[in-house]
Amino acid sequence: MLGPVAAQIQSAALVKDEREGAVETSCTYGLAPYPAGQEPDPGNALTITRTIYPDRATLSKIPLPRLMMTPLPVQGPWEKGWFTTTQLATRAECILETVNGQIITRITLAVPGNTKPVDQVKEKLATLITGQ
């Protein structure tokens, strides 16, 4: 689905965190090989993070979207969604963040700055959320 960008996708590095009743699970899939026992380079990876809040009152205290430069609203089978692309000094990031019920899902595709852009990246990242 992500074409040549994901040609060498690696197994996920999983991190789970709980705070103030919220459970956050993050899976980072390196897009290039990395040594056993080390974490994938977040600047060349696909990261999927789901944060489940205990109730809507707790979720309503979270400023949305979280840490995005120039987010644009995105329609889909979720209650709220945003998408942005950011060109940093050494990498490009495409971020899709959605809210559905008490769950925030954030998908970040980060690639080295010299990587060819992924066609229809917003739609492809949305597919990772919807499965369609």
Indicate the CATH number for domain 3-130.
3.40.1000
What confidence tier does 100 reach under pLDDT thresholds 50, 70, 90?
A: very high
Q: Which two tokens stand for residue 18?
A: 């709980």
Q: Mind listing the pLDDT tens digit for each residue in 36-57?
A: 788 888 899 999 999 999 999 9
Res 129 pLDDT > 60: yes
Domain range annotation of the chain: 3-130
CA proximity to 30, closest of 7, 56, 59 = 7
Res 58 pLDDT > 70: yes
Q: What is the pTM of this model?
A: 0.86
CA proximity to 118, closest of 68, 49, 46 = 46
Q: Mind listing the pLDDT tens digit for each residue in 7-38?
A: 666 677 778 889 888 999 999 988 888 887 88
- Check residue 111 and give its pLDDT: 92
